[in-house]
Amino acid sequence: MATLHLLSHSPFADSRLSSCLRLLSAGDGLLLSGDAVYALQRGTAQRQALELLPEGIVLFALDEDIVVRGLEDLPEHLHQVDYPAFVELCCRYARTNTWL
Amino acid sequence: MARSMLIISRQSPWAGPSAREALDIVLAGGAFELPLGLLFLDDGVLQLAPMQQAAAVQQKDLTANLQALPLFGIEALYAARRSLDERGLAEASLSLPVEVLGDDALSALINRYDHVITL
């Protein structure tokens, strides 16, 4: 069963995002919150990597973290979620993996 | 002769108190008329990103405080070109007028100051 990966650290400061992307398997979800949503900034290598996610991987991000950072022009396949949906997702996947 | 100080701010505005604390040092130093510089490096350049909306998470807007720096006489403001490029930030879009410096210029900048504080 699938895993929901939770990332909340800046994708520019360390290798969490790149490691996580290598570990994803079909059916997994990736949820960005906090500074991890900076990976959605257009024109970055991180955004490009997210655009190239395989079909079976679902990409989520916390909407208020996107809004406060003024990020625009987001990927089409991105699902923006609020906190209740965040909780619901954690229940829907068989497990969560938080990249602390 | 007052000793000069360079503050290097390298955390995003949302990653905790570091960004605001770096700014507080600069403003306090400015009040004592110390010769100060402020360099935005690594994720620190995200403090200069346009259209941030702090009110959405009930926080105070750091951008407004940053824009007050020239009013306090602090005009030696720098940002690292490599950091901006990595984060997809165009120089023209920044919310504060800063001098954008390449790697070589950054080491020269640090060498111009008596003290350096990195947060």
**CA atoms of A30 and A4, how far apart (whole Å):** 6
Contacts of A68 in chain B (CB under 8 A): 14, 52-54, 56-57, 59
Contacts of A65 in chain B (CB under 8 A): 14, 57
Average pLDDT of A62-81? Answer: 96
Q: How many other CB atoms are there within 10 angstroms of residue B84's CB atom?
A: 21
Q: How many other CB atoms are there within 10 angstroms of residue B54's CB atom?
A: 17
**CA atoms of B106 and B80, how far apart (whole Å):** 7
Average pLDDT of A52-75? Answer: 95
Check residues A26 and B51 and name the one with the higher pLDDT.
Answer: A26
Instruction: Tell me how close the Cα of B71 comes to any Cα of chain A, in angstroms.
Output: 25
| pLDDT at residue B72, rounded to an integer | 86
* CATH fold of A3-98: Hypothetical Protein Ychn; Chain: A, (3.40.1260)
Instruction: Name residues of chain B where pLDDT drops below 50.
Output: none
| pLDDT at residue B57, rounded to an integer | 78
Confidence grade of residue A1 (pLDDT, cut at 50, 70, 90): low
Task: Report the mean per-residue pLDDT for chain A.
Answer: 94
| pLDDT at residue A35, rounded to an integer | 96
Tokens 């987001």 found at: A74
Interface mutation target, options A7, A9, A18, A38, chain B, most CBs of B under 10 Å: A38
Residue percentage of chain A with pLDDT more than 70: 99
Q: Where are the domains of chain A?
A: 3-98
Average pLDDT of A31-55? Answer: 96
**CA atoms of B39 and B116, how far apart (whole Å):** 10
Closest chain B residue by Cα to residue A9: B15
Confidence grade of residue A42 (pLDDT, cut at 50, 70, 90): very high
pTM across the whole model: 0.85
Tokens 């398997």 found at: A25
Which domains are delineated in chain B? Answer: 5-118 (3.40.1260.10)
Contacts of B40 in chain A (CB under 8 A): none
| pLDDT at residue B111, rounded to an integer | 87
